[in-house]
Structure 1
């Protein structure tokens, strides 16, 4: 063969296959428009979340394009997927998940109940007692972050904890924002705060590593120490500092916002619904009467809080703290007959199934009885803590945190709302009007 033709073929064949692959991929991409560069549909999503109409907006997308469609969110090509099957997306880092499950195992949780009890009592004494009016959401965020710092990371009160809280809140404030990195934007403030949080956590990791080497502290002393102990099994390498920091930050976000929002909306519900309020108060006061003065709550006490937890689950169903989740594809993925290219992000609104009338009858009605037997619910329909094998390892931690907080709130205080507007917005977490200001009065100690 002519050498020139040979070279030409060698040059053209790769291009031919590249064009074929590109054509095939473009044909199999989900329907939809990615909108304007960088901005895409980000502003629209943020607007409908703030107006609390995001669910309706996504339902319109499903009607128009079907259960899978492409768009652009926060500067990245994105595929939106909906339905119960979408709630199964993603895989966890198995070693990290195993460490979290081990750290939060039942015998460890028993020890945390007493520490949480002390944290909640201290918080109420500092921020509630002697007050006539408080704003619930910011106080609950303070409480849950202090619990995280104390129990999960071993950070005691002081300047370090205060700086970490400040930087963490700034980081959270810009996580769902347009990725325009200019000094005055929320995105820029969030990036800088995130860098500082990571620096502080890396310093803490180094300190914990030295302490572990020198003193041989228990691997379950705190979460960071537990993650440092992931090594030596099946020839696995130890987690890097960056991996530990990444997973610690995930736990911080989940533990801080989920519990604080849940407790806040339970407080609002109890002020609005006398019947639900009476049931919770009766259950909690019965437990309080069985305790001697100053005695801490125990695992057995929490096991008796069945009705209170059903109220909490129904609150999570109707007011889920996490509206949607993102995952990044590490390789080309076939889903629903379409191609999701490597590097794209997948977005799904985990809570859309919560208000599906085919799953929950009269979904707009608050009914704790739905959770008399959670096993009867269809798989991946109630996913406030994930579902199936991917259920959140911190589920039991959040349960203890919530039940202990509600116990002391309802046994020590009465309250009423300072407004009649029961709406809320998302930024991205649900925020009740004005952060839920309430008038409070103390109860006589039982």
Structure 2
């Protein structure tokens, strides 16, 4: 899931991390460009500005100062061209295989990949971009997993939500999305096993963009160790699955992604190596652990804040729930009926995208908007140049799911999953996961935010600083309460405090 992995760039770390990184990795280049912009301070570049301002403000200020089309900067020790607007998105997405190739920061590669792959071009190790992996993640292939998603969502809510009056959404959404990924990708449902893998992944995500010096006790050292632990565990899982396949013990496991990866050949007629399979699964797990859980969290945030949006989602989801028989799970036809719910989720993705953009490397000199982009430079595109542009989204700070009705936004303006050949192959998986979870939450609970003004910070993805604590109001309780009130509250975050 290369696009989602490269999305983990956003927070560009703290100034000290940046400085140390650049001292080690600063690269010389004689390539010249007439791009407007600034390379910032020697060694440090503009990393401090990026970290302090945040991606959205940083890019917006430089678009006004230098160019609304493209500008130069220096980030992560690399000379970089930042492409802006829908035209910039279109240019990068449509020239993926001609002028550009994938690129990750060294720190990310060392945390995620086997040492044998770290110095290889990213395109050689992102096996998720192979056509047959994309086929596995297409809607028609994912339909079989909807009932499993529904079953796990029900069990998760029953175990981790229903016994309590108050919960924190963000850590629980991470727990659910990671457990679901382990189940669907590798048929792992042992809670202790899942928790152990999750702990290793936490080390990775906490340290991928910290000080890139591998000294005992540092976050980066933890990321390196976490990556090795995950890779070792995955190699054991792959070896055990191979053993079961040879002994015909894979009967009940053949539908998961791991068995499919082991049995399918690529476009060259070759099987994937164990390391390639491990790279692919790590990509999927990192994506599901961070970006999908972030999306689930902020979808529920807006449902808790905006009563009229919640009511429309509830009406749509209750209609589906009432059409099901006792114990009957959701299916593809049910998902297709969730039109307003998905528009609501897309609006949440527009306002708080789970990631900020993606990198590429220039493989041949080219010109854009009258400027020269030299070979060897890196490029960066970001959701923030279009998602809140009033030309594309009038009154951009307003939460309005109707923006996605009919033909929806103009091409290349709504890009939470990227675009072109590198568009995130897991976007349909994320859609199913978000909708199934949303269905189960709203048909059981109303949500009341306990911290209306909770701050959102950025690590590898946007994070509510206190985990988004909410009060759960079961529907049977909300009906009882409604009999004692004149009207429903309309202030987001106020909800039911005055009624109890």
Q: The TM-score by the shorter chain falls in which range?
A: 0.7 to 0.9
Structure 1 pair 221/36, CA: closer, same or farther in 2 (3 Å)? Answer: farther
Within the candidate set 448, 451, 471, 1:416 is matched to: 448
Give the corresponding residue for 2:200: 167
* Deviation of 1:306 (Å): 1.0
**3-state secondary structure, aligned to 1:221:** coil
Give the corresponding residue for 2:419: 387
Give the corresponding residue for 1:240: 273
Within the candidate set 231, 236, 240, 2:265 is matched to: 231
Are 2:127 and 2:276, in contact at CA under 8 Å, matched by a contact in 1?
Answer: no
Are 1:116 and 1:401, in contact at CA under 8 Å, matched by a contact in 2?
Answer: yes
Give the corresponding residue for 1:60: 61
The worse-fitting range, judged by mean Cα deviation, of 241-250 and 364-373 is: 241-250
Give the corresponding residue for 2:138: 105
**3-state secondary structure, aligned to 2:446:** strand
* Deviation of 1:145 (Å): 0.4
> 2:271 matched to 1:271?
no
Are 2:150 and 2:329, in contact at CA under 8 Å, matched by a contact in 1?
Answer: yes
Please give the alpha-carbon distance, in whole angstroms, between the structure 2 residues aligned to 1:439 and 1:419.
Answer: 10
> 2:86 matched to 1:84?
yes
TM-score, structure 1 length as denominator?
Answer: 0.84
Within the candidate set 166, 183, 190, 2:216 is matched to: 183
Give the corresponding residue for 1:124: 157
Please give the alpha-carbon distance, in whole angstroms, between the structure 2 residues aligned to 1:73 and 1:186.
Answer: 21
**3-state secondary structure, aligned to 2:258:** helix
Structure 1 pair 75/390, CA: closer, same or farther in 2 (3 Å)? Answer: closer
Structure 1 pair 415/392, CA: closer, same or farther in 2 (3 Å)? Answer: same
Structure 1 pair 75/224, CA: closer, same or farther in 2 (3 Å)? Answer: farther
Are 2:70 and 2:88, in contact at CA under 8 Å, matched by a contact in 1?
Answer: no
**3-state secondary structure, aligned to 1:84:** helix
**3-state secondary structure, aligned to 2:80:** strand
> 2:67 matched to 1:33?
no
Which runs of structure 2 are paired with 1:367-446 in the superposition (5 Å)? 367-373=400-406, 375-444=407-476
Please give the alpha-carbon distance, in whole angstroms, between the structure 2 residues aligned to 1:255 and 1:225.
Answer: 19
Are 2:450 and 2:470, in contact at CA under 8 Å, matched by a contact in 1?
Answer: yes
Are 1:421 and 1:433, in contact at CA under 8 Å, matched by a contact in 2?
Answer: no
Give the corresponding residue for 1:10: none
Give the corresponding residue for 2:486: none
Please give the alpha-carbon distance, in whole angstroms, between the structure 2 residues aligned to 1:419 and 1:176.
Answer: 29
Structure 1 pair 207/42, CA: closer, same or farther in 2 (3 Å)? Answer: farther
Give the corresponding residue for 1:11: none
* Deviation of 1:313 (Å): 0.7
> In terms of Rg, which structure is larger?
1
* Deviation of 1:82 (Å): 2.2
The worse-fitting range, judged by mean Cα deviation, of 105-114 and 305-314 is: 105-114
Count of aligned residue pairs for this structure pair: 416
**3-state secondary structure, aligned to 1:435:** coil
Within the candidate set 70, 73, 81, 1:71 is matched to: 73
TM-score, structure 2 length as denominator?
Answer: 0.76
Give structure 2 stretches of 5+ with no counterpart: 1-28, 98-122, 480-500
Deviation digits for residues 224-276 of structure 1, max 9, x if unmatched? 3333344375x444333333222222222222322211221122111211111
Give structure 1 stretches of 5+ with no counterpart: 1-21
The worse-fitting range, judged by mean Cα deviation, of 78-87 and 434-443 is: 78-87
Are 1:266 and 1:315, in contact at CA under 8 Å, matched by a contact in 2?
Answer: yes
Please give the alpha-carbon distance, in whole angstroms, between the structure 1 residues aligned to 2:266 and 2:50.
Answer: 45
Please give the alpha-carbon distance, in whole angstroms, between the structure 2 residues aligned to 1:346 and 1:281.
Answer: 42
Within the candidate set 345, 353, 356, 1:320 is matched to: 353
* Deviation of 1:408 (Å): 1.1
**3-state secondary structure, aligned to 1:226:** helix
* Deviation of 1:385 (Å): 1.8
Are 1:74 and 1:178, in contact at CA under 8 Å, matched by a contact in 2?
Answer: no
